[in-house]
Structure 1
Amino acid sequence: MIISIAAIRKHLALPEISWQICLLAIIGGCASAFLVVLFTLTIEEIQQLYLIKRDNYSSLDELSRFDLPIIGAIIILFFGWLTGYKYLRTGIPFVLHRLKVAHGVIPFKNTLNQFWGSAVALASGFSVGREGPAVHLGAACSSYMANALKLPYNSVRTLCACGIAAGIAATFNTPIAAVIFVMEVIMREYKVHIFVPVMLAAIVGSLITRSVFGTSHDFEYFHPIALDQYHYFSLVLLAIVLGILAAAFNKYLVLIIKKSVKYHIVPRLLLAAFITGILGYLVPGAMGTGTSAIDISLTSNLSLGLLFSLLIAKLLMTMFALGLGIPGGIIGPTLGIGAIAGACAGALVIQVLPGEYLGSDFILMGMAGFMAASLNAPLAALLTVVELSSQLELVVPAMIVITIASIVSRQLCKNESIFTMQLDAQNLSYRKPPIEESLQNIGVLAVMKDNLLILEQASTRTIIGELLSSHQSQLIINQESTQATEINSYYWAQFDAEIADDDGEDIEHNLAKKLILHKLIPLNHQVTLAEAYLALVEQRSGAVYIYGKDINDCIGLVTFEQLRIYLVEGKLH
């Protein structure tokens, strides 16, 4: 059994499709989806205590709408106090950061705060989304499983992506959008060996949520679109407005993060609750994830002033909630903001073209355009709206809005993805040099040399004798440390096997000159070639030794020459 597990780990260290990684993706996807379903049910159970319908905060009286976010913030702070305030970092930016610095392994206390903190935040009327917690919980669940099995870190990253896809699919019942979101926003690369297991995990997540909540999508109540080609000019104008609005939204959200980061989390969350309570008192439709705002936007004959006030309230609620640290996602609110902006555009079109009601069509276009421009994820935005509304007919008009909004936001307004802007504002690293990006896709187990000859307290003559009588090409000398507090140190000797001389003494003399001793750096068997490269890049020679159960259990070597050949030729040796 031990041999088979070791063989599986070695196979998973390669960036290849295999039944092993697919099976683990399905298992991890199931666990992640069930955790996200439990999270969703927790929110609904809390809301049933005081709401007649999910996210319908208009049913509460004015005082309750003001008090509810403050009570929620106090509960969130209580959980933060129990676990430690430093573990309150959650959401998609934090997951992106952990993928870069820790291969997707997430501290357990952060996950506890994500589950309970976000459940309370979403049930308390804060303008945050469910997808941020879904990404965090899915990533954490799959990465815990992979790390418990001591899998190579490159496969831990892949399974982390699988958990994210399963979590998003379980949240919205949108498997295609979940896959594209993972590849476009989270991993930011399209590799077949990642794409296939991610797709399997998304399928599993969708099947699980369908078995619990049914097969319907959130926005299937939208009427079939009735946009014609002569409406496209109006869509172009809408897209320009959406691009500018998304750039302004991102800019001021990040500004709030930068200005508030120097203050303690307690006054920040209480301020967010106070602002949400005041705005909820005045505009109840702006509270919640965004579904309430979308429902109001679909109401016929709403005045432009009412829609505009709803838009301003939703923008302010979302910016202050997320900017001041309330746990939750951003995609749900962006869909709500886009929907209200689209409804405003539809109201204007009615005034220009009397008799034509295109409110629901412009709402869908607004959702797609604002999400694409704010997240810098055009394909994910397109497929999200298509799957949620179950309307393939909106692909062409939505593509027009998405492309123009993205160009305006990115090129004219110099806007970036809100996730990368949040990471920069919070000083969380998420970029690595291209060399490290390439090397972290391969685990050391896949390339390490395990034909080892280990000697203890060996002299030079002993080394030469062993080399002459052995067919091994790697030699390790175990020298006991002079201090008991230090671990044993290992050295690697490399020799030229082509020496040909009839005189044995000359062979020994020449071979002694060929010996090159390097102090070996110990690395865990889970690491990737990126860690091996960083350990050897300064000296540009030598090797690292890979250990198994403990630091003295040497199971193989990875040489700098192997790394150099791979970087130059793209081949593994």
Structure 2
Amino acid sequence: MTEPIEPAPPTRFQALWTWIARQWREGRSPALWILGLLIGVAAGYAVLGFILAIEAISYLTFGAHREQLASGVAALPAWHILLVPVGGGVVVGALLWLGKLRGWLPETRSHAVADVIEARAVRAGQIDIRTGLLSAVISAVTLGAGGSAGREGPAVHLGGALASIVAQGLGLPARAARIILACGAAAAVAASFNAPIAGAVFALEVVLGHYALRSIAPVAISSVMGALVARLSFGASPAFSVPPVAAASLWDFIGVVLLGFAAAGVAILFMRLTLAAPARIAKIAERVRLPLWALPPFGGLLVGTIALAFPEVLGVGYETTADALAGGYALQALIVLLVLKILATVITLGFRFGGGVFSPSLYLGAVLGAAFGGVAGMAMGAETGGTTFYALVGMGAVSGAVLGAPISTTLIVFELTASYEASLGVLIAVSLATLLTQSVTGGSFFQLQIQRKGYDLSRGQARVLLQTIRVRAVMTPLDEGEAATDAGDEAACLYEDDYLGRAIGFLSAEKVDGAAVRSRSGNGRIIGYLSKADAHAAYARALADVHEEEHR
């Protein structure tokens, strides 16, 4: 009898290849570093294309680039200023109709940062690339045609969508897919602002929601690569020019505290109006039987009407932000611009144009800070740090409070100015403004957007687990014979697509140790059984997995 032939031991090359394949399959750190680098380059060039598309549309419609948009539009005839936002609205409406028809935009709106955070928390880091590309096109048309919104939100979504399709294509596990999603977001922010440190911290602080050691390296690599792409293409200059910052006195830091209170007030007003507008306008459209995709032209007409007198409200607003930082406006003009920019942004997003809230919040903060600096200058005279100091502090405080990203916005200001005093002032003001804003609103702008879909992220991932784990995933299944035998059971039961939170609540309310699980189809036949012990054990395992992901 011949003995079985033992397989030959693997060669060093085979062992190395097996190790590499396992690293990729399981999404371990060395593989994630390589993916972070590749995604950083890809997302950086995607954001570069997105920015150039906005520039091209702006030049075709208004004959001006973003650096001179307000001043260029001021020289145009009134019919031109009105026609461009309306025409842009027609194009956006057509794109929304297409997205609704194809199922790429089921809510008839373009996507931005909140959808990236939702994908991380609820959908294992998965984003439909078609939704990402169409949202980017809608936002490019919106901003190029003068819509008052931000470019960073759509850029983050585009970067996240590119990262997600890579993770799906490689079949990465959910934990690795979430890290890769954050890599795309980091590269997008870094490329948009030319600020690699802020890009990495934004992805960790806002998108991932934690600073686990395993996540830091790939996210940082991706952010650096995104910034490198921007610098190779646009040079080392930041998104907008910042004048030198004068030395601040002790009195200025007392003023910073007061500015933090004012920034919180502006952030709360801006968030509440912007969040309420889409639903309010949708109800009006429903009453007059107007589909949601037909709303943008009407919003364009309203924004164009405001721009007839104040073209500074158009587009991303970087020119006006830079002028406010340089002290280029009188106090009365700053107050008017503050009010009208809020109104224009609420109209733009409420009438289903694309775009985000990052740039508008920077604009509002710079204008508020410049106005506060003017008042402080009159009160303190030569002892004040100047308009630029307060404008930078206000810019960081309002944007940080709106986005729920105090550390990221502080770092953005530091990378823009390299000023320790300005960064310290931002840190004080944004901490106060964020605390006050979230105490009143209950969360950041993105968290409140997601909360309207039924997911509460303000208390961490623990509650979301109860809203995402299905009973079918944790029940004990029955075979076909048992299911057929028990099909006539009329006792109170659960359904396979119930969430774990409902199941635990049901078992506790009924004071039972378990319940049958029915199918939604097939005459509601019983297909499994869920015990209270299994439900709590599944929740405990999920909590342990989340804890490990967020702390290792």
TM-score by length of 2: 0.76
The reply on whether 1:308 has 2:308 as its aligned counterpart is: no
Which residue of 264, 267, 291 maps to 2:318? 291
Provide the aligned length of Structure 1 versus Structure 2.
Answer: 471
Equivalence for 1:22: 33
1:167 corresponds to 2:183: no
Provide the C-alpha distance between the structure 2 equivalents of 1:94 and 1:419, rounded to a whole number of angstroms.
8
Deviations 1:456-482 (A, max 9, x none): xxxxxxxxxxxxxxxxxxxxxx999xx
Q: Deviations over 1:397-416 (max 9, x none)?
A: 222212222233233x3452
What is the alpha-carbon distance in structure 1 between the residues aligned to residue 547 and residue 116 of structure 2? 33
Aligned to 1:444: none
The structure with the largest helix share of the pair is 2
Q: Supply the AA of the counterpart residue of 1:320.
A: I
Q: Displacement, 1:277?
A: 1.0
- Residues 566, 403 of structure 1: CA spacing in aligned structure 2 closer, same or farther, 3 A cutoff? closer
Partner of 2:96: 80
The alpha-carbon distance between structure 1 residues 93 and 261, as it changes in their structure 2 partners (threshold 3 A), is farther
User: Counterpart of 1:154 in structure 2: which amino acid?
Assistant: R
Residue deviations 1:147-184 (CA, integer Å, cap 9, x gap): 11222222111111111111111111111111111111
**d(CA) in 1 for partners of 2:373 and 2:70?**
25
3-state SS of the aligned residue for 2:430? helix
What's the offset of the Cα at 1:53?
Answer: 3.3
CA contact (8 A) 1:12 1:155 kept: no
- Whether the 8 Å contact between 1:298 and 1:359 is mirrored in structure 2 is yes
- In the alignment, does 2:45 pair up with 1:34? yes
Shift of 1:343: 1.1
Whether 1:66 and 2:88 are equivalent positions in the alignment is: no
8 A contact 2:58–2:146 mirrored in 1: no
1:197/1:564 CA distance change after superposition, 3 Å? closer
Where does residue 555 of structure 1 map in the other structure? none
**1:346 corresponds to:** 373
Q: 1:9 to 1:158 in 2, by over 3 A?
A: farther
SS in 1 for 2:295: helix
Shift of residue 2, structure 1, vs aligned partner:
11
Shift of 1:274: 2.1
CA distance in 2, matches of 1:40, 1:2: 45
Over 3 Å counting, the alpha-carbon distance change for 1:207 and 1:437 in structure 2 is farther
1:213 aligned to which of 222, 234, 245? 234
Q: Which of 336, 347, 350 does residue 363 from structure 2 map onto?
A: 336
Q: In 2, Cα distance between the equivalents of 1:564 and 1:40? A: 40
Structure 2 portions without partners, runs of 5+:
1-12, 286-290, 469-478, 485-516, 518-527
Q: CA-to-partner distance for each residue in 1:429-474, whole Å, 9 max, x for gaps? A: 7688528769x9xxxxxxxxxxxxxxxxxxxxxxxxxxxxxxxxxx
- Percent pairwise identity: 26
Distance 1:415 1:168, change over 3 A: same
Report the counterpart of residue 145 of structure 2 in structure 1: 124
Is 1:281 the counterpart of 2:308? The answer is: yes
Q: Give the C-alpha shift of residue 245 in structure 1.
A: 1.4
Q: Kindly provide the CA deviation profile for residues 501-532 of structure 1, in whole angstroms up to 9, marking residues without a partner as x.
A: xxxxxxxxxxxxxxxxxx9xxxxxxxxxxxxx
| Cross-structure match for 1:106 | 127
CA distance in 1, matches of 2:99, 2:541: 42
Q: CA deviation at 1:57?
A: 3.0
TM-score (norm 1): 0.73
Q: CA deviation at 1:420?
A: 1.2
CA RMSD of aligned residues (A): 3.9
**Which amino acid is 1:157 matched to?**
R
CA-to-partner distance for each residue in 1:244-290, whole Å, 9 max, x for gaps? 11111111212213323444323432332122111111211121212
Pair 536,384 (structure 1): closer, same or farther in 2 beyond 3 Å = farther
CA contact (8 A) 1:338 1:369 kept: yes
Which of 203, 219, 223 aligns to 1:198? It is 219
Letter in 2 for 1:273: G
Q: Report how far residue 562 of structure 1 moved.
A: 12
Note closer, same or farther for the CA distance 1:433–1:347 as it changes in structure 2 (3 Å cut): closer
What residue is the counterpart of 2:392 in the other structure? 364
Q: What amino acid sits opposite 2:262 in the alignment?
A: V
User: Is residue 2:430 matched to residue 1:418?
Assistant: no
Q: Name the amino acid aligned to 1:279.
A: I
